[in-house]
Homo-oligomer: A and B are copies of this chain.
Amino acid sequence: MNEIAPIVPESGDKEAAMRKEPTQRRSKERVERILSCASTLIADNGSDAMRMSDVAEKAGISIGSLYQYFPDKGSIIRTLADRYNALGRECIADTLKNVHDMNGLQASFAELIDIYYALFLAEPVMRDIWSGTQADKALRDIDLLDSRLNGAVLADARARVNPAADRAFLENSSFLIMHLGQATMHLAISVDPTEGAALVDGFKRMVLREMLAA
């Protein structure tokens, strides 16, 4: 919960949308190579401009091999999204794990918002993927699930801080906060940095007030 993620998130758990689970070492390396090359290409010109033929060439493999592991272009992007999300969730869960009072919650969440903003600013791949997030139903679902999971973690922390609060309300509110957090990041990176920072601060204020109120 305190470092900027590496350019290519380390291999997560159950990869999404892989055509066939690689078993030999050679093919496992290839999958990582493909993802790494795709990541670079996305960082350079965006996922839209990324051609499957470019990925294959850069990875030093044939188009056919590419499609052996990833059934379509979207699955590469989704796998990257999954990995970034997993990193983010881990960071959020770590940070909120030991929160037990309102002061701690407020401080931790404010810190999280700053970390996420820094991440979005630093990672062109993350920016690109989340910008295109709404275009693809599958990506949208990944996004939604991520907000939900993070929302559940936040709801837990808020319940710990305020045991009297209505649980259903906390879950709803936390889900919303996580989703709006993403939207705020999109907005903040779309405007000039000064305004972006101010908008992130505005969001922070709104959210902290929401947590106090409930």
Say whether, besides A134-B134, A140-B131, A206-B210, A172 and B198 are in contact (CB < 8 Å). Answer: yes
A144, CB-defined interface residue at 8 Å:
yes
Chain B residues near A176: list those with CB within 8 A.
184, 187, 199, 202-203, 206
Chain B residues near A202: list those with CB within 8 A.
172-173, 176
Chain B residues near A167: list those with CB within 8 A.
none
Per-residue B-contact encoding for A127-162, CB less than 8 Å = 1, 0 else:
000111111000010001001000000000000000
Q: How far is the CB of A188 from chain B (nearest CB, A)?
A: 9
Q: How far is the CB of A96 from chain B (nearest CB, A)?
A: 20
Asked whether A183 lies within 8 Å of B190 as measured between CB atoms, the reply is: no
A118, CB-defined interface residue at 8 Å:
no
A94, CB-defined interface residue at 8 Å:
no
- A134 nearest in chain B by CB position: B134
Chain B residues near A198: list those with CB within 8 A.
172
A209, CB-defined interface residue at 8 Å:
yes
Q: Which of B130, B134, B184, B209 touches A133 (beta carbons < 8 Å)?
A: B134
Chain B residues near A130: list those with CB within 8 A.
134
- A140 nearest in chain B by CB position: B190
Chain B residues near A134: list those with CB within 8 A.
130-135, 186
Instruction: List A residues at the B interface (Cβ < 8 Å).
Output: 48, 130-135, 140, 144, 147, 172-173, 175-176, 179-180, 182-184, 186-187, 190-191, 195, 198-199, 202-203, 205-206, 209-210, 213
